[in-house]
Amino acid sequence: MRKIIHIDMDYFYAQVEERDDPSLKVHPVAIGGPTKKQGVLCTANYKAREYGVRGGQSTYEAFKRCPQMLLIYPQFEKYKAISEQFLSVYQDYTDLIQKVGLDEVYLDVSESKACSGSAIKIAEEIKSRIFEGTGLTCSAGISVNKMLAKIASDWRKPNGIFAVLPSERESFMHTLPLKRIPGVGIVTLDKLKQAGFETAGDVVRSDISRLNLLMGEKKSIKLFQHCQGVCRDEVITHRPRKTVSYEKTYFSGLPYHALPKEVENVVQGLSLKLLELENFHFDDRSIVGLTLKVRNTDFRTFTRSVPLSPIESESLKRSKVISSQQTESLLAALSEFSSITIIRLLGVGVRFSDDKSQQIEMLI
């Protein structure tokens, strides 16, 4: 039987800033930017969340909800150094460590002898050591697979711990709202709700052929397994990203004429994600191009690629920030979507390659 722990730092970037400046604790605070009118948020403290402020929002939208909020531009080098402190704690319990970001990690402690092999005690000890060493709180989830551990870590946030034991898996999943299941996005959730599915139990009790008609065989089988609490994903210790993207959904629709401003905001969000990545994602690799994705109100998705020259690729690798020239190239690609009057989703991304030819070309 596997023993998986999911550790999720509580509002990590904002919590670090509160720790370093305790006067921030009485204010709504968000991390993001670069300005109140341009950019996106990485995260927000709980006081800001009381106003409906969330990570992923544009700063413009967030300040409409909470005009008095304090905005701090992220200091990723500081956050990365603190994340390394967490890693030194995890390594005392297992070598099977999968970092999802600076603030999130999966640990496979199935073979660990620490704490007499108790995953719950290991999680408690990790939480205690992180707080003693950094002054920061985290939440922990424990279960037999990655999916259940992730759901569990969110169960008693902030600074909580929760376990889904093997004997409790079926009863736990029975009443679990579908929105709690990782990978069930807004579009899928809407389809399922319209078909009468509200909980994981509703899905498990249904005929899978009905799900096949609703979302296709491959997706329906995966959803059916997840709703049973089944997940076979392994804890992967080191895997460079093939792509990195940032997307935003517009529930009430975004008119085409508003796209240029939104592209700039989404580009800021992508740059923040690139700055957050650890160096191994960039080492001995090239960034071969940018991608632009648009979805219309009929849920049809359109994509365009914007190639990068070797020099542009190397510059982006060094800075990890999308340049104004690259943003202009993305804006130029928008003209191909002019027939779409209302946008439901906008996304931008980068594509990595392990092919060394682009680096060699630069030296010739």
The CATH label, of 3.30.1490.100, 3.40.50.20, 3.40.190.10, 2.60.120.620, for the domain at 243-363 is 3.30.1490.100
Burial bucket for residue 324 (CB in 10 Å: 0-12, 13-18, 19+):
exposed
In sequence order, what are the residues at sequence separation of 6 or more whose Cβ sits closer than 8 angstroms to the Cβ of residue 361?
310
pLDDT value of residue 202: 96
Count of other CB atoms within 10 angstroms of residue 28: 23
Rounded CA-CA distance 167/12 in Å is 32
Q: Backbone phi, then psi, for 327, in 5-degree steps?
A: -65, -40
pLDDT value of residue 73: 96
For the chain, what are the domain ranges?
4-12+77-165, 14-75, 170-227, 243-363
pLDDT tens per residue across span 107-153? 999 999 999 999 999 999 999 999 999 999 999 999 999 999 999 99
pLDDT value of residue 186: 84
pLDDT tens per residue across span 234-282? 999 888 889 999 999 888 899 998 988 899 999 999 999 999 988 889 9
In sequence order, what are the residues at sequence separation of 6 or more whose Cβ sits closer than 8 angstroms to the Cβ of residue 52?
65, 66
Rounded CA-CA distance 5/110 in Å is 10
Mean pLDDT of 284-301: 91
pLDDT value of residue 358: 47
Domain 4-12+77-165 has CATH 3.30.70.270: yes
The CATH label, of 3.40.50.720, 3.90.245.10, 1.10.1040.10, 3.40.1170.60, for the domain at 14-75 is 3.40.1170.60
| Packing angle of the helix pair 208-215, 186-194 (nearest 10 deg) | 130
pLDDT at 349 over 90: yes
Written as one string, the DSSP assignment of 161-209 is EEE--GGGHHHHHHT-BGGGSTT--HHHHHHHHHTT--BHHHHHHS-HH
Q: Which residues are annotated as a binding site?
A: 8, 103
Q: Which residues are annotated as a binding site for Mg(2+)?
A: 8, 103
pTM of the model as a whole = 0.84
User: Is 168 an active-site residue?
Assistant: no
Using DSSP, state whether 33 is helix, strand or coil. strand
Q: Tell me the pLDDT band of 187, cut-offs 50, 70 and 90.
A: confident
The structure tokens 């020099």 sit at: 311
The structure tokens 């341009």 sit at: 38
Average pLDDT value over all residues in the chain: 93
pLDDT value of residue 278: 86
Q: Tell me the pLDDT band of 355, cut-offs 50, 70 and 90.
A: low
Catalytic residue among 17, 77, 104, 262: 104
Superfamily (CATH H level) for 170-227: 5' to 3' exonuclease, C-terminal subdomain (1.10.150.20)
pLDDT value of residue 363: 35
pLDDT value of residue 134: 97
pLDDT at 304 over 60: yes
Using DSSP, state whether 73 is helix, strand or coil. coil
Mean pLDDT of 53-76: 96
pLDDT tens per residue across span 34-43? 999 889 999 9
The H or E element spanning position 19 is helix 12-20
Q: Tell me the pLDDT band of 171, cut-offs 50, 70 and 90.
A: very high
